[in-house]
Amino acid sequence: FWLAVGCAVIHFVAKLGWIPDLSPGSRKKPKHVADAKRRPVAEKVAVPVEEQREVRDEGKVPMGAIASQVVECLRVEDVDGATRLEELARKQGEPVSFAVIEPLIKLFAKTDASRASKLFRDLQQHGFYASEGFCGSLMARSGEARNIAFAEEVAANLRSRSMMTLATFKTLMKVYATNGMYDKACDLYEEIRSAGVEPDQVMYGCLAKFAAKCGRSEMAQQLHAARASQGGDVQSYMCGMRS
């Protein structure tokens, strides 16, 4: 009885506004929290606390905040969001940082080769350094989307800096092979040897397989012999038999 009376009193006082209403469903999230969940990625540009004063004074969004959101766009392959963020970065009145450009090129390498190519050229013109790992990632993503021309452009950039390695040759070879261009994959063999790069067991096996697929029997046999001299396994013998 007294419990019922107490609940009735609490309810009556809450109605008068003397204490907050604690009944179920009465707790609503602030409007700015609800709106934030509905906004697309490109509009959720988080600003670090230490940079908020700069934003208020100059009306700019720090490049670091934009870069973090471009990385998120890359993760979910949000091309529209990344495009809006790129426009926002260019309106800041200062050079766009590498932290923004890098994920943009990676995203466009798979979705828009012409834009990726333009950004990659801009990258070089502004003196940014494209590492071997970054270039390898661009070639791999280009190959997945059949953007062969951009993959070759990136490879040409590495060649101009004498930075082609066993890993990047493998990546370019995979780009050709996954798109059925076995002849071009095999043509890389002479370049690899000329560059002083020694193919490993995996590359020998792949080249022998590609050579057999495109009818280069003599090359497949030579590659089989070279791999066997390194202690070839069953796969190398199978490639030799097919050739």
Cα separation, 211 vs 206, in Å, equals 9
Q: In Å, what is the CA distance from 110 to each residue of 49, 70, 194? A: 34, 15, 31
Percent of the chain with pLDDT over 70: 70
Q: Which residues of 191-212 are buried (b: 16+ CB within 10 A; e: fewer)?
A: ebeeeebebeeebbbbbbbbbb
End-to-end Cα distance, the chain: 94
Q: What is the pLDDT of residue 11?
A: 63
Q: Please say whether the beta carbons of 236 and 220 come within 8 A.
A: no
For residue 236, which of 189, 188, 198, 204 has the smallest C-alpha distance? 204
User: Quick one: pLDDT at residue 54?
Assistant: 47
Mean of pLDDT values over 203-227: 88
* pLDDT at residue 37, rounded to an integer: 43
- Say yes or no to pLDDT of 210 above 70: yes
Residue 77 backbone phi and psi in degrees, to 5: 55, 50
Q: What confidence category does residue 18 fall into, taking pLDDT thresholds of 50, 70 and 90? A: low
When the pLDDT of each residue in the chain is averaged and rounded to a whole number, the result is: 80
pTM of this structure: 0.70
Average pLDDT of the segment spanning 155-163 = 95
- CA atoms 196, 202, 206, 212: torsion sign: positive
State the average pLDDT over residues 120-134: 90
Q: Which of 13-17, 81-85, 118-122, 183-187 has the lowest mean pLDDT?
A: 13-17
Query: pLDDT-based confidence at 53, cuts 50/70/90?
Result: very low
The SS3 of residue 54 is helix
Q: Give 64 or 54, the one with higher predicted confidence.
A: 64
- Judged against a pLDDT cut of 50, whether residue 57 lies above it is answered with no
Has residue 72 got a pLDDT over 80? yes
Residue pair 174/182 in contact (Cβ under 8 Å)? The answer is no
Q: What confidence score (pLDDT) does residue 228 get?
A: 76
**CA dihedral (200, 203, 207, 208) positive or negative:** positive
In whole angstroms, what is the distance from residue 126 CA to residue 213 CA? 43
